[in-house]
Amino acid sequence: MDNAKPQLMDRPKAEAKHAASETSGAALVSALDELLGVQADVALDAVPVPHRRVERWKYTPVAAWWKDVLASEVQTVAAAGCEANPVPGLDAYRLVFVNGTFDAAASDLPVHTGVMCMPVSQRGDAPLQSADAFSPEESDWFAGLNGRYSQEGLYLRVAQGVELDRPILIHHHTCGAGVFNVLRHDIALGLNASVKIVQWSTAAAEADGAVNVLTRADVGEGARLHIDKVQDEEGTVRHIAFEDIRQGKASQVEVHTITVRGAWVRNDLAFRINGQGAHAELNGAFLPGEGEFVDNHTTVDHRVPHCTSSENYKGILYGKSTGVFNGKVFVRPDAQQTNAYQQNANILASDMASMNAKPELEIYADDVKCSHGCTVGQFDSDALFYARSRGVGLEAAKAMLVHAFIGDVLKGLAVTEVRLEVEHRLAEKHGWDVWSDHLNDDA
Amino acid sequence: MAYDGKDKVLEEVTGKSYEFGFTTEIESDKAPAGLSEDIIRLISAKKEEPEWLLKWRLEAFAVWQTMEEPNWPHLNYEKPDYQAISYYAAPKQKKQLNSMDEVDPELRRTMDKLGISLEEQKRLSGVAVDFVMDSVSVATSFKDKLAELGIIFCSMSEAVKEHPELVRKHLGTVVPTRDNFFSALNSAVFTDGSFCYIPKGVRCPMELSTYFRINESGTGQFERTLVVADEASYVSYLEGCTAPQRDENQLHAAVVELVALDEAEIKYSTVQNWYPGDENGKGGVYNFVTKRGICHRRSKISWTQVETGSAVTWKYPSCILKGDHSVGEFYSVAVTNNAQQADTGTKMIHLGKNTHSTIISKGISAGNSHNSYRGLVQIMPSAANARNFSQCDSLLMTDTSGAHTFPYVEVKNPTAQVEHEATTSKIGEDQIFYCLQRGIDAEQAISLIVNGYAKEVLNQLPMEFAVEAQKLLSISLEGSVG
């Protein structure tokens, strides 16, 4: 079967355009055209502007997006007043982007044989990978926005057999009002190359605007790519992130998405497994607090036989928050011997929280093992009772259960310092003293 | 052993154009093709309906005109031309055959395999039935017995005339006309269906089935069923039949509404075996059904379905758990073979406190078919301590078939417990090997394994149905060893 051509499952479902959304979308586009200039000729009228009748956006309100977009000022870390390295103790190469501009002073680019790592703006004539029929740009309006306006991001090429000695930390920072922070990271790993990337997003408390990050990675045969993605944004920033990952034979890709804080966050991961023997791992934890919204969409497209994928998303929802999980596993007709696993467990920790989950399987091959599980529940009252009968306060007991609940996701993070910092920030946000006891265990 | 689509009983039977069924219709009794207010007035007039029902139909029609046919299901079919369909035809006369010898031998073999009794076979194939065993007389004797208990069980047209207050009170309360495209269409043009009312505290002594009134009148393609179980009553209702059913109406858009008042229980079982079309799915029935029940306090609605027929199935029997402590259940086996497509599942909407729901769905895909489970579990903020367990398993018989799962879980109450799990697999080669070793041939082994796989659901069916359904599963999958 020719996997290059869209098949049955790719057939476009004509989704209705919604007049009011189209108008708002068009207004945003014309404002952005004027502010940023069109970087790539990406037409946006082929896909509907998101609204709740579009299946992919059923649970995700986008009204906040249509606020006025102002010129994003060129900013540096120094001007923004944030620390260059958000992860204490992490020894990593660094690329810092503030409001979508590269901050050379705060960055520390690797000088390493076989590695080209630089901001997109400095790559010269080297081409970026282009979008194709399966890329998010073709199916999602916001990804289209990214394609149209992005001009900066990470440009990374790792040659055959090169294993980068330290992780690359990409730090996105947003500050000021009315910011449109758009970035595109372009990654290609050669045969048996290996690299760890940390994507860390922060925003200042007074920040307001939108962040739109698209990461495109082509992972060659036998290569390994680990991405630890942490979102800890204050202010009222809307964050949307796309991952467009293509995996070659026997490659391994892991993406760990941890949402610590964020008024409105949407992660949209798409994995295409093009080579036999490849493994994809997608893990995530989200702990939205009062008024926050977190949406995790994932697609794993098994196109060839003998591949595995594993997905584990955990959510704990506090205050008046909303969570969304949509996991999709495709197994194409020829992808026999696929082993795909998907798990999503959620805890509603308050009366006002709500969770919408949609774990999907679409399977067109018979010799496969595919399963998914999804649960929504609350803290185990027996476990709480056990802890309390031993003198642990209710809140502390809950914090302990949270630690256990998301522990397997946190353990999966590729970089230990990232895990420790995530735990520290979560404990700080939610006021869990009890967590500090665990911080330096099994580091 | 790949599916070869040849020399198998069911293929032969269902692949043939149907020569034995209905006589050609008399033109004068058929409304012209197309749908308009005039046609609806004509239907209403022919059925001598009261003014309120006509008004209701016209409102539904107005709503329908503003709606679009859904394209969200995981189905690929040519959308019917709604203006090319004739919406009213007088009940069809079956051609009477003189003896079983005139019946298509292949059809007979299928029925024998299903274990359908000779009398039943005669009735199904349109053979004149022995006077003593006339199903009308049997039906009448049942009717007397039901009447004694105050149970009303009749056709919808009859109910509109004789029990207008009941029909008017409940019709459209569970599935509002504007609910969806097909329910609006059905509300505008429905021709007949069944009505059932169980009075307070009565436990219906027998399984109610449309079997009993088969000789009354054909129900047509837009069937409307309403079952009302008054407080603390119980009824078990059977719909459909295991024998292959042919129908020249390609489009079927039925609506079923169940009302379970306080402490009532309704068990609704369906076996659907409409003509699935030829190997390429040509000519098969489109089955677009809206089924929904509402549960009041401490009541229970249980849906059980065995879906083996139709070229395209679009069907989501649902429960609105409105009353506290109410229970909803959904048990389903859906088998698709050849080019069949099914998008089926359920919706459990929890509104009341301590409401429980269970969903067990077993999909089996063979040939080039696609079988999707689509379900919604919704826990509203008022549904404290709601509980749901969903399990949907898929079995793939061939490498050209597909099994898909689209579950929606929406939880807005922190005391709810919702679990969903799904698996997809094929029949293990070691399982088949085990059977072969013990002298059970591959075909029987498949039947054995599939029946074991679907047992949880089949067990929910009333006894006589369950036996036939098991055989039906085996026949539907004949020759589909993957």
Q: How would residue B480 be classed by pLDDT, with cut points 50, 70 and 90?
A: low
At residue A4, the pLDDT reads 47
Query: Is A3 inside a domain boundary?
Result: no
- Do A364 and A434 lie in one domain? The reply is no
Answer whether residue A302 shows pLDDT above 60.
Answer: yes
Number of domains in chain A: 2
Q: What are the start-end ranges of the H helices in B396-454?
A: 429-437, 442-453
List pLDDT tens digits, range B134-143. 344 445 567 7
Here the ipTM equals 0.86
Query: Is A348 inside a domain boundary?
Result: yes
- Do A321 and A390 lie in one domain? The reply is no
- Do A362 and A427 lie in one domain? The reply is no
List pLDDT tens digits, range B468-478. 788 888 777 76
Answer whether residue B102 shows pLDDT above 70.
Answer: no
CB A276 within 8 A of CB A249: yes
- Do A354 and A391 lie in one domain? The reply is no
Which of A297, A360, A381 to substitute to test the interface with B, most B CBs within 10 Å? Answer: A360
Which of B350, B359, B409 to substitute to test the interface with A, most A CBs within 10 Å? Answer: B409
Answer whether residue A420 shows pLDDT above 60.
Answer: yes
B357 interaction partners in chain A (CB closer than 8 Å)? none
- Do A316 and A415 lie in one domain? The reply is no
Answer whether residue A224 shows pLDDT above 90.
Answer: yes
CB B371 within 8 A of CB B401: yes
Q: In Å, how far are A143, A202, A205, B339 from A181, measured between CA atoms?
A: 13, 12, 16, 49
Answer whether residue A107 shows pLDDT above 70.
Answer: yes
Please give the single-letter amino acid code of residue A361: L
Q: How far apart are CA B290 and CA A225, in angstroms?
A: 48
- Do A38 and A101 lie in one domain? The reply is yes
- What's the rounded mean pLDDT across residues A155-184? 93
Range with top average pLDDT, A117-131, B247-261, B291-305:
B291-305
- Do A392 and A368 lie in one domain? The reply is no
DSSP B89: B
Rg, C-alpha atoms of chain A? 21
Considering only CA atoms, which of B469, B477, B467 is closest in space to residue B395?
A: B477
Answer whether residue A133 shows pLDDT above 50.
Answer: yes
Answer whether residue A306 shows pLDDT above 70.
Answer: yes
**A252: containing domain:** 8-378
- Do A359 and A415 lie in one domain? The reply is no
Which of A330, A344, A366, A382 to substitute to test the interface with B, most B CBs within 10 Å? Answer: A366
List pLDDT tens digits, range B359-417. 999 999 988 899 999 999 999 999 999 999 999 999 998 888 899 999 999 999 999 99
A17 contact B CB<8A? no
The alpha-carbon gap from A384 to the nearest alpha carbon of chain B, in Å, equals 15
CB B116 within 8 A of CB B245: no
A59 interaction partners in chain B (CB closer than 8 Å)? 410
Of A358, A378, A398, the domain-final residue: A378
Structure-block tokens of residue A139: 């199916």
Mean pLDDT, chain A, rounded, equals 90
CB B96 within 8 A of CB B129: no
Q: How far apart are CA A65 and CA B122, in angstroms?
A: 67
- What's the rounded mean pLDDT across residues A66-91? 79
Q: How far apart are CA B143 and CA A136, in angstroms?
A: 62
Contact B76 A369 (CB under 8 A): no
Considering only CA atoms, which of B195, B173, B175 is closest in space to residue B185?
A: B175
List pLDDT tens digits, range B110-128. 667 666 666 666 655 554 4
Decide the pairing of beta strands B402-411 and B370-379.
Answer: parallel
Query: Is A391 inside a domain boundary?
Result: yes
Q: How far apart are CA B338 and CA B349, in angstroms?
A: 34
Contact A355 B403 (CB under 8 A): no
Instruction: Please provide residue B27's backbone torsions phi and psi, each rounded to the nearest 5 degrees.
Output: -55, -40
Q: How would residue B173 be classed by pLDDT, with cut points 50, 70 and 90?
A: very high
List pLDDT tens digits, range A314-354. 999 999 999 999 999 999 988 999 999 999 999 999 999 99
Between A319-333, B45-59, B63-77, B117-131, the lowest mean confidence (pLDDT) is in B117-131
At residue B130, the pLDDT reads 36
A348 interaction partners in chain B (CB closer than 8 Å)? 411, 413-414, 416
Between A245-254, B34-43, B209-218, the lowest mean confidence (pLDDT) is in B209-218
Query: Is A1 inside a domain boundary?
Result: no
Residue A337 CA, distance from chain mean position: 28
Q: How would residue B22 be classed by pLDDT, with cut points 50, 70 and 90?
A: very low
The alpha-carbon gap from A391 to the nearest alpha carbon of chain B, in Å, equals 25
- Do A285 and A433 lie in one domain? The reply is no
Residue B45, C-beta contacts closer than 8 angstroms, at least 6 positions apart: none
Answer whether residue A439 shows pLDDT above 50.
Answer: no
DSSP B91: P
